[in-house]
């Protein structure tokens, strides 16, 4: 039988919160903070992929029959990537704020925006491909 001094204290429950009395903010469960950060990083990987793909389209793809074809395909990708990066920072901050004030997390508009952007780029690519004569 262990005495009280010999027993290990069980760690605080991960769901326990710590309140900062000066600001009234609650320190959220670290697992949620890390999940929010991982989501932010995932959106930024997507943004970097869009930007890099846009740069590659301009620098590597052969010219389309339409002179400005590569640019018209690349620019929306680069702009979408830049927007996604900026928007992911705003979303990360909004989620952190909601968790610290025990509010519901705001709905994300990023999946919808990304989907619309990809559809637009795909339509542009389809139009350019339709005007491309023999390879």
Q: What's the mean per-residue pLDDT of the chain?
A: 87
Is residue 84 domain-resident? yes
pLDDT value of position 56: 97
Tally of structural domains, the chain: 1
- The DSSP code sequence of 34-102 is HHHHHHHHHHHHHHHHHHHHHHHHHHHSPPPSSTTHHHHHHHHHHHHHHHHHHHHHHHHHHHHHHHHTT
- More confident: 29 or 7: 29
Whether 51 is in a domain gets the answer yes
Closest alpha carbon to 43 in 79, 85, 76? 85
State which H helix or E strand residue 4 sits in: none
- Please report whether residue 13 resides in a domain: no
Q: Which domain holds residue 80?
A: 29-130
Q: What is the pTM of this model?
A: 0.78
Per-residue model confidence (pLDDT) at position 134: 63
| Digit-coded pLDDT (tens) for 30-72 | 999 999 999 999 999 999 999 999 999 999 999 888 889 999 9
Instruction: Examine residue 81 and state whether it is found in any structural domain, yes or no.
Output: yes
Say if 14 falls within a structural domain. no
């Amino acid at each position: 039988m262990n005495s009280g001094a010999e027993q290990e204290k069980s760690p605080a429950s991960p769901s326990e919160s710590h309140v900062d009395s000066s600001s009234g903010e609650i320190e959220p469960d670290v697992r949620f903070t890390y999940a929010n950060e991982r989501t932010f990083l995932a959106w930024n990987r997507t943004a970097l992929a869009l930007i890099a793909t846009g740069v590659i389209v301009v620098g590597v793809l052969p010219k389309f029959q339409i002179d400005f074809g590569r640019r018209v395909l690349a620019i929306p990708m680069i702009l979408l990537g830049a927007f996604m990066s900026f928007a992911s920072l705003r979303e990360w901050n909004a989620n952190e704020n909601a968790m610290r004030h025990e509010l519901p997390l705001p709905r994300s508009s990023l999946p919808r925006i990304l989907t619309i952007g990809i559809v637009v780029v795909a339509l542009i690519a389809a139009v350019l491909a339709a005007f491309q004569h023999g390879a």
